[in-house]
Structure 1
Amino acid sequence: MSHSIRIFAVALPLAALLGTSALAWELPTLSPSVANAMAQGASPQAIAEYRRKLAEYQEARAAFDADAGAYWNAIAEKRKTRFAKRREGQAVTLNDYVLEQAPLYEGPKRPVNPEPDPDTGPRVRKDLPVVADFLGAARSEFQFAPLRPSSEMEFKRAYARAALQAGISRDIAVRVYSFETGGNGGHDMQSGLNPSKPGSRAISTAIGYNQLLTANTITIIAEKGPQLLKVLNERAAMLQGPQRKAMDHKIAVFKRMHAAVKSGPQSWSAFEKLGLTPQGWAMHALVLDMDVGPQLQVHKLLTSVNFARARGVDRPLSAAELEMMNLTGDGNGFDMVTMPQAMREQVPTANFFQRGGYERNPVAIRHNTVAKLIAITNNRMDINGNLPGAKELAAAFGSATASNEAR
């Protein structure tokens, strides 16, 4: 099972770059005139004007949807053809992609109804769980509190050691971190929350250097549980006294979490549903733990690496290529990263998205070929890699390398 953070939920720097649908949690702001009309009761003239504009909008939208529907049906059919050809070992050519750019709606916007529906109350924005909720759920569901680092650098060193042991290079880890967190994120950074911006709100459950969603964490617990337990047991063997007691408790908690995940359906959709519950929130708190969190972050990166490797890609993937797999899903991303450069220059990015995700993604629209999208991703990595957080992570890799060589 190989899944990634898809277009629907990503870190704030990623969301700012990619224009994700996570901002759908925000409600539209009404103009003062419309708000006043709704408060006082709409006039006949306002109602008539609204109906006229609504008819114009519906006519324009219907015409657009007819064209767009045909386009996105062609995208889906071409995708099926490519996947089938790859399964049969056949070469994929330019003819297996839609080479026209996706149609974009440029007609009138849907007007705001000046008559509020008396049968429905005001819409309430749904808040997503945040770090405090994950920690609270861990206490209540599993009587567990993650071991937090004394400093951000301590977590970065632990992450660097785990990454190097897994064969992930400093360059890959730092560039992905630079892109996912904007170059300055902490181990507990959550998508959408920015301490420097009062009133900012979470736009997904993604946390950490590689921005794991609740479903990502649960997937890794399900698939890599024995490996994670092996790491914890090895560390326990080196501890004594209160530290050993705390580690033994953590191991027992992890076993309970693993058993809970394995007791249900083993699918991404099932893990997404579990991630909406307090039990799933509690599991997500492991991302914050000094012993487990770095391992989860590393396994998140390895998901795409292993996906490509299992399908015959033996060269190292670049950080930007890994982000393509992260952005569009491993299957679509694999399609992109195995594409020759000449084809990357010609194939529209729309070929790798669902319609809704693409139409909410201004960067994929603006940088509308595979080559352009990879180029802007590399550019952001270059820029953010010069920020303090990225430099600290690079230094942590240097310390971890020196420590390994000294052993």
Structure 2
Amino acid sequence: MSGAIRQGGRLPLNHDTLRPYRKPKPDCQENWNRVATMSMTWALRALALSVVAGALLLSASIRPAGAASTIDFLAALSDSELDEFRAWKDARNAFNDQTDAYWDAVESKRQVRRRKRAAKIPFDRSDYVMSFPPRYKGPALSAALAKKYYNFVEQQKTTEPAKTRELATVSDYLDAAKRVYGFTPERVSEREFKLRYAEEANALGLSKEQVVRVYALETGGNGTYDMQAGIHPVKKTGRAISSALGYAQLLDANSINELARSGGTFILLLNRKLRDPENSPARTAALKHKLTVLKRMYANVKRLPFEWDVQQRYAKTDKGMGIHTLNIDADIGPMLQAMKLRTLKDTAEKQGRRSLSGAELELMNLAGPMTGLEMMEEPGSSAPTPNFFARRAYYVNKMVAGLTAAELQVELDRRMSQAIARPGAQEFAAAFDSVFERRSTAER
């Protein structure tokens, strides 16, 4: 530590202060004792500063020129503040160690379950961590000291804005689609999009209850078909928090995955629309162009290994971003999103679960197909939700925190029941009713 530090009129702490003093003559013994005591006090303080500073420096970032150092911050504290800060930091470090150990155990259990699932071995309670993450119960910083520490942390941030990549938004996806594929999704009214979605869902054997309740949960009951997670669907305010788009909130990688899985079906359905004798010349031309684009996109994703990690990476490329805009197109979007839900239903049926409520379908959508099914049956349903989500996802998604899997399903159902009364969900339900009525009339 360089420079002088003064506190309460004490001697400055510098190299001379810490050097051994020559023993004075007997007549100066009283002064020697006084100075030695003061030097020992400062030496102990310096040791305390170095210990606490070491803990802070473990997580410190490169500080901008002119910003106070960790030692400067600690040295500016009074003795009582330093003791308080050290006690708090020790407690926080211990808590962080406990939390790391907890999540290490969760991941270890998850790996065991993956191996058991592959070997078709049933799970038991020992395959889960049956507790929730530890909660901090140590001392808190006083308001004054917390403010000092907050100001210090803020000063450590680089003066230049962090060069972190912003999440892509709808406009970015549209730009990529136009640039790479010469494609611009066809827009229609919300009512028309819901009608087309209801038609596709009904044809795939999905119920009104399943689809509308998933929509109500995912969009809050008022979402638009071009809605992106984090951005208000009507006001367009907010900031994107993920790539999730549309009524079913498909992630960019979901779009790649579903196109790779069902692209052939989408092409057949689009060909069927193309052969409709009531098409106008403009409609025929538009469908031909969509079909050309869809075939090109499908060919691109079929070249990839059908692996989630690969699809996630591809979704961040310009080609993958362009594919994500299919969710917005009036012809392909309803097919794509309804098929995603149908895929979840098919997965459940393969595992022997023939019927799914809206909440159960959403649980598979939220946690992943196989994980969602695991959460519906014992012993998984009694296990705390940290067992089924990544560490960051658990803390970010407040809805899942502090619940068991069974309790989460109840919470999903409660939120669905609340949101289903909102205008968007009511309009969606009416779209299904219209489809049912139309088909009933056609069959008579």
Q: TM-score range by the shorter chain?
A: 0.7 to 0.9
- Out of 352, 360, 365, the residue aligned to residue 401 of structure 2 is 365
Q: Partner letter of residue 388 of structure 2?
A: F
1:132 aligns with 2:171: yes
- Out of 48, 64, 77, the residue aligned to residue 75 of structure 2 is 48
Q: 1:3 — aligned with what?
A: none
Pairing of 1:299-318 with structure 2 (within 5 A): 299-314=339-354, 316-318=355-357
- Residue 273 to residue 80, structure 1, CA distance change in 2 (3 Å): closer
1:289 aligns with 2:329: yes
Q: Secondary structure at the match of 2:185?
A: coil
Q: Distance in 1 between matches of 2:208 and 2:226?
A: 21
Q: Secondary structure at the match of 2:400?
A: helix
Q: Could you tell me the percent identity over the aligned residues? A: 38
Q: 1:321 — aligned with what?
A: 360
Q: 1:390 — aligned with what?
A: 425
Q: Partner letter of residue 202 of structure 1?
A: A
Q: CA deviation at 1:86?
A: 4.5
Q: Secondary structure at the match of 1:357?
A: helix
Q: Partner letter of residue 172 of structure 1?
A: Q
Q: Secondary structure at the match of 2:202?
A: helix
1:347 aligns with 2:383: yes
Pairing of 1:8-407 with structure 2 (within 5 A): 42=68, 46=73, 48=75, 59-106=90-137, 111-112=149-150, 113=152, 116=155, 121-124=160-163, 126-149=165-188, 151-194=189-232, 199-238=237-276, 239=279, 241-314=281-354, 316-339=355-378, 344=381, 346-366=382-402, 368-407=403-442
- Residue 145 to residue 118, structure 1, CA distance change in 2 (3 Å): closer
* TM-score, structure 2 as length reference: 0.74
Maintained 8 Å contact 1:42/1:115: no
- Residue 123 to residue 61, structure 1, CA distance change in 2 (3 Å): same
Q: 2:20 — aligned with what?
A: none
Q: Distance in 2 between matches of 1:63 and 1:204?
A: 33
Q: Cα RMSD between the aligned structures?
A: 2.9
Maintained 8 Å contact 1:47/1:115: no
Maintained 8 Å contact 1:41/1:115: no
Per-residue CA shift, 1:143-189, capped at 9, x if unaligned?
1111111x110000000000000000000101000000000111111
Q: Partner letter of residue 379 of structure 1?
A: R
- Residue 363 to residue 58, structure 1, CA distance change in 2 (3 Å): same
- Residue 47 to residue 40, structure 1, CA distance change in 2 (3 Å): farther
- Residue 249 to residue 353, structure 1, CA distance change in 2 (3 Å): same
Q: CA deviation at 1:312?
A: 2.2
- Bigger drift between 303-312 and 89-98 goes to 89-98
Where does the alignment leave 5 or more consecutive residues of structure 2 unmatched?
1-63
Q: Distance in 2 between matches of 1:199 and 1:152?
A: 19
Q: Distance in 2 between matches of 1:205 and 1:87?
A: 30
Q: Distance in 2 between matches of 1:106 and 1:302?
A: 46
Q: CA deviation at 1:396?
A: 0.2
- Bigger drift between 228-237 and 190-199 goes to 190-199
Q: Distance in 2 between matches of 1:361 and 1:178?
A: 17
Q: CA deviation at 1:300?
A: 1.7
Maintained 8 Å contact 2:258/2:339: yes
Q: CA deviation at 1:197?
A: 5.4
Q: Distance in 2 between matches of 1:127 and 1:80?
A: 32
Q: Distance in 2 between matches of 1:70 and 1:133?
A: 40
Q: Distance in 2 between matches of 1:211 and 1:385?
A: 16
Q: Distance in 2 between matches of 1:176 and 1:189?
A: 14
User: Number of paired residues?
Assistant: 364
Q: Distance in 2 between matches of 1:114 and 1:146?
A: 46
- Bigger drift between 252-261 and 89-98 goes to 89-98
Larger radius of gyration: 2
Q: Secondary structure at the match of 2:225?
A: coil
* TM-score, structure 1 as length reference: 0.80
Q: Secondary structure at the match of 1:289?
A: coil
